[in-house]
Amino acid sequence: MFTLQIEHGIKDFGTWKAAFDRDPVNRAASGVLAHRISRPVDDPNYVLVELDFDQRSQAEALLENLQSKVWNSPEAAPALQGSPKTRILESAA
């Protein structure tokens, strides 16, 4: 299993979550098997998102879509603050 991990600052969690729920990249059709959203207990304006995939290529393709179609669009990502930090992880156990 592969996980696309995304971290970034946000202006407002409610606004960010509504945009996430609109799903502008169609996560299911992109191969996302499951997702998790976390926030640091001491920073409500920061999120960590983990998206699970069967294949590395699916994670890479979704990351490309996020970079080219979502994160540079104020309409698609209205609460994004700063540049997201990303990495693709492979399950080791």
Residue 46: give its domain's CATH number: 3.30.70.100
pLDDT tens digit sequence for 66-79? 999 889 888 888 89
H helix or E strand, kind and range, residue 62: helix 56-65
Domain total for the chain?
A: 1
Segments forming the whole domain that contains residue 59: 2-90
Q: For the chain, what is the mean pLDDT? A: 94
Residue 28 structure tokens? 């299911």
Range 14-20, long-range pairs (CB < 8 A, 24+ positions): 15/78, 15/79, 16/47, 16/78, 16/79, 16/80, 19/76, 19/77, 19/78, 19/79, 20/49
pLDDT tens digit sequence for 14-67? 999 999 999 989 999 999 999 999 999 999 999 999 999 999 999 999 999 999
The answer to whether the beta carbons of residues 84 and 16 sit under 8 Å apart is: no
Per-residue pLDDT band for 93 (boundaries 50, 70, 90) equals confident
Residue 75, pLDDT score: 83
